[in-house]
Structure 1
Amino acid sequence: MLKAVPGTSDIFPQAKDYPFREPVFRYITTTAEEVLRGAGAQMVHTPIFEYLEVFQKGVGLTSDIVVKKEMYVLEDRGGRLLALRPEPTAAIVRAYNEHGMKVWPQPVRLFTWGPIFRGERQQKGRYKQFHQVDYEALGLSDPLLDAEAIALMVRIYKTLGLKNLEVKLGSVGDPEDRLRYNQYLRTLFEPYAQALSEDSRVRLEANPMRILDSKSERDQQIIAELQPKPMLEFLGPEARAFHEQVCRYLAELGVPFSIDPSMVRGLDYYVRTAWEVHHTSIGAKSALGGGGRYDGLSEMLGGPPVPGVGFGIGIERVAIALQEEGVPIPADPSPTLYLAPLDEAAKIEALVLAEQLRPKIYVEIGYAPKSPRKALEDALKKGARYVGFLGESERARGVITLKHLESGEQTTLEPLQLHSLFEGPEPK
């Protein structure tokens, strides 16, 4: 029997793993949508695959996605290379440029959610296909938008019911700041080049900052020994002023945060503001999401200058945090009426009746004819309020046998009486 590819999962109500239970998944996405629409964000959906160049140029050649060959790449019939999206921001910026959103009132606030694909090693909270809520504010370079994005992200988590949150704020500076910092790091790490992991040896030449974000144990040992100066010490006057303004705005908004002077984000397009939100109860893989500013991304993709800031929220990670905190998830509604045809002839009668009642109430049909006892068991499992039996006896009299499952009261009704019963407020 064929099964799902390792690192992927089916999402359905009774899934064994909590993050893939559909009501949990829906609770997270609908809550995020309500919060973001309330801030003026509009939903956008981009294709799940783009030309490979969108992501190569967007996420950067020194990111894990490119260095570790984590992208799923395919070739179309014309010989063009395509990639399943490993992150959503580059595609949204591409769409902003392609559809002329620069003439809209700025900033343009967009959000989406959907699957992300990365060929990562599977572990708790990491999958080959995972899901992400994404928010982007495009068109203005204003520290107020950065503070707003962080506040919105925190509000999504709090609206979901999460409490054990920690916002870590940093800055990756402007390009010239990173150039100075990379020169410093290159000088610092070069004597240890042969001891670094293979990935970090590549980064030593291209982008030494990315070494600081290495997952390699031996790289982390070298970093601990060398204790490099943090990026914040290399900020120029403009980037420093921008960072300080974001901090002031967050304080005015009442959003608690701590400064992480060594903050490094996993994608190369970030400038200035960078942040992560962690959950303090789920161990090492505690990051629920992160974000930052990316004022140069549009130009990397061949477009005009378009400043932007945004964040991504890992849906599966959030689900794990909800489970850890024991946050109750709203239950799906149960059927008001479960119709049980007791023979083949009653099946179409049940469907006709159900379609007449469905504009008023939630009606489910048990299509496989079975005994009243078995039909009653199924109705109880569904959590139905009433069960309606349709069989030869009912058909001969033109009635339906209706049983209230909580009280056990049973009666026979004509179809018109049944319609009247469910008119107006749903009966108790």
Structure 2
Amino acid sequence: MALQRPKGTQDHLPGGSPKLSLDVSASAFRHVTDIAQRVLERAGAAFIATPIFEEAELVTRGVGGSTDIVRKEMFRVYYAGDHGGFVLRPEGTAGIVRAYIQNGLKQMPSPLKLWTHGPIFRAENVQKGRLRQFHQVDYEVIGSSDALVDAETIWLMVEVVRELGLSGVGVKLGSIGDPADRETYNGYLRGVFAPHVEQLSDDSRDRLTRNPMRILDSKSATDQGLIAELAVRPMLDFLGEDAAGHFGQVRAYLDAWGVAYEVDPSIVRGLDYYRRTAWELHHANIGAKSALGGGGRYDGLAAELGGPQTPGIGWAFGIERILIALEAEGIELPPSPGPLIYIAALDAEYVGLAAKAALSLRSQVRAEFGYKPQKPGNAFREGERRGAVYTALIGSDEAATDTLAVKHLGTGEQESVRLEELAGFLTPDS
């Protein structure tokens, strides 16, 4: 039997592949990252790339030992002489903050805006849009606690999906306060849930001791039913004066800029490093699991990783989730560009000339050639199949006069072009 790819992974296929949906299209992935790059770099973000595996301690300390990611979903990396001290990254922020500390990026202009994209690994139950290897676009701002930075960060996430053409999206905005606020809230939650501990799932019983806020993020229907039955008060009710003022400033900026959002008291976020502002981006047409991504402020993360106290905020969205939403809205992405010209030889002795002509153009345009001689009709059909704008032929007459017979496949116009003039003919404005 032929080998298969691992469960929960996908092959990203070239355009024109059979049974191609957006979430397995390599060109669709490229389109999303190109749009993100354009929007984020116009805002001053610089690209960063970190390893796809990190020390397990980085994830445990950064993400939080009480999270499902650390307790259930990490892929450990083993090699000769090692005993699983590394993990495939289950999210991007901790690695970026580690790189910021380790490489002295504090010396760069502050706040420092960074963005990246790449694979993320979690041992999740596989379903549509939930994979074990998935891909994210990630944006981080390190070095400022200003509410204006929060608002701009949210605006940029909305702007990326707007540039992609999505309309059925909405921001759910909340705040999880400062550490003291969270401690007060966790005390309240322990008091609420302790009398009903037998009704909680095994995971939530453990969270009741470690971090009760995680109960609110439980995937158990029984837990969620109990939360509703007990009418558990939201974190927003426990914000201190500073955190409440910060949240109000963020909202004021978003209101002034016309960014639509819904205040959602249930926003908790699944990672322990968050502080104050937290939000999720949802899409109305992709089912119950409608979150495309989310973000929040993480002012305590750098210190938790052994660096100086440094504020930060960021977001990530799943590229596969974005592509599912694009497909749900019927948005057609730009087709994969083909070569500007396809060059074919009519006889075997001229195949080398066709190759030489194509190679001479590649410093300026995408040019392809046929590796075997072709009849004119077959050459034109092959050029169309590849998405070329022009097809050029070289036969005995063209070889004798150092020319090519160049046909525009859209208009059908054909003319003879000298080899040394071909680049100028194809790119007249350059």
TM-score range, shorter-chain basis?
over 0.9
Structure 1 residue 103 and structure 2 residue 107: aligned?
A: yes
Q: What is residue 88 of structure 1 aligned with on the other side?
A: 92
Q: What is aligned with 1:44?
A: 48
Cα RMSD over matched residues?
2.1
Q: Deviations over 1:193-215 (max 9, x none)?
A: 23322222221211111111111
- CA deviations over 1:142-189 (Å, ceiling 9, x no partner): 111111111111111112211122111111111121112112212222
Letter in 2 for 1:373: G
Return the TM-score normalized by structure 2.
Answer: 0.92
Distance 2:420 2:139 in 1: 51
| Residue in 1 that maps onto 2:162 | 158
In 2, Cα distance between equivalents of 1:214 and 1:23 = 36
Per-residue displacement from partner, 1:368-393 (whole Å, max 9, x unpaired)? 44443333321121232322223466
Query: What per-residue deviation string (whole Å, max 9, x for no partner) do you get for residues 263-292 of structure 1?
Result: 110101111111111112222121111110
Task: Note the residue ranges of structure 2 that are not aligned, 5 or more in a row.
Answer: none
- Cα contact 1:67–1:199 (8 A) shared by 2: no
Q: Is the 8 A contact 1:76 1:82 kept in 2?
A: no
Q: Distance in 2 between matches of 1:159 and 1:268?
A: 31
The 8 Å contact of residues 342 and 391 in structure 1, kept in 2 or not, is answered as yes
**Counterpart residue type for residue 9 of structure 2:** T
Q: Give the drift of 1:405.
A: 2.7
Bigger mean CA deviation after superposition, 79-88 or 56-65: 79-88
- Cα displacement (A) at 1:76: 4.2
Q: What letter matches 1:50 in structure 2?
A: E
The letter of the residue matching 1:169 is L
Q: What is the match of residue 184 of structure 1? A: 188
Tell me whether 1:72 sits opposite 2:71 in the alignment: no
Determine if contact 2:354/2:370 at 8 Å carries over to the other structure: no
Indicate whether 1:147 and 2:148 are aligned.
Answer: no
Measured in 1, the distance between the counterparts of 2:76 and 2:286 equals 32
1:378-417 matched pairs, under 5 angstroms: 378-391=382-395, 394-395=398-399, 399-410=403-414, 413-416=417-420
Q: Which residue number in structure 2 is paired with residue 127 of structure 1?
A: 131
- How far 1:36 sits from its partner (Å)? 1.1
Distance 2:99 2:36 in 1: 22
Structure 1 residue 331 corresponds to structure 2 residue 335: yes
The 3 A distance-change label for structure 1 pair 121 and 416 is: same
Q: 1:341-380 counterparts in 2 under 5 A?
A: 341-380=345-384
* Corresponding residue for residue 204 of structure 1: 208
CA contact (8 A) 1:114 1:131 kept: yes
1:94 alignment partner AA: R
- CA displacement at 1:132 relative to structure 2: 0.8
Amino acid at match of 2:112: V
Aligned partners of 1:33 and 1:90: how far apart in 2? 21
Gaps of 5+ in 1: none
Report the Cα offset of residue 233 of structure 1: 1.0
Given that 2:380 and 2:391 are in contact with CA atoms closer than 8 Å, whether structure 1 keeps it comes out as yes
TM-score, normalising length from structure 1? 0.93
Q: Distance in 2 between matches of 1:185 and 1:408?
A: 73
SS at match of 1:255: coil
SS of match in other structure, 1:388: strand
Q: How much does 1:224 deviate? A: 2.0
Alpha-carbon separation, structure 2, partners of 1:120 and 1:300: 26
Which residues of 2 match residues 234-273 of structure 1 at below 5 A?
A: 234-273=238-277
| Aligned residue-pair number | 425
In the alignment, the residues of structure 1 paired with residue 173 and residue 43 of structure 2 have an alpha-carbon distance, to the nearest angstrom, of 22
State the partner residue of 1:340. Answer: 344
CA 1:425–1:275 in structure 2 vs 1: closer, same or farther (change >3 Å)?
same
Matched AA of 2:163: T
Q: Distance in 1 between matches of 2:10 and 2:372?
A: 30
2:258 maps to a residue whose letter is G
Equivalent-residue separation in structure 1 for 2:89 and 2:242 (angstroms): 33
How far apart are residue 218 of structure 1 and its match?
1.7
Q: Please tell me the residue identity of whatever aligns with 2:248.
A: E
For structure 1, which segment, 270-279 or 99-108, has the greater mean C-alpha deviation from structure 2 after superposition?
A: 99-108
Deviations 1:244-268 (A, max 9, x none): 2211222222211111112110101
Give 2:8's aligned residue: 7
For residues 368-423 of structure 1, give each alpha carbon's deviation from its aligned partner in whole angstroms, at most 9, with x where no partner exists.
44443333321121232322223466546655343333344555555346456336
Equivalent-residue separation in structure 1 for 2:201 and 2:377 (angstroms): 66
Distance 2:402 2:162 in 1: 54
Q: Take 1:188 and 1:53, find their aligned partners in 2: how far apart are those partners? A: 32
> Partners in 2 of 1:89 and 1:392 — Cα distance?
61
Structure-2 residue corresponding to 1:225: 229
Q: Distance in 1 between matches of 2:228 and 2:134?
A: 32
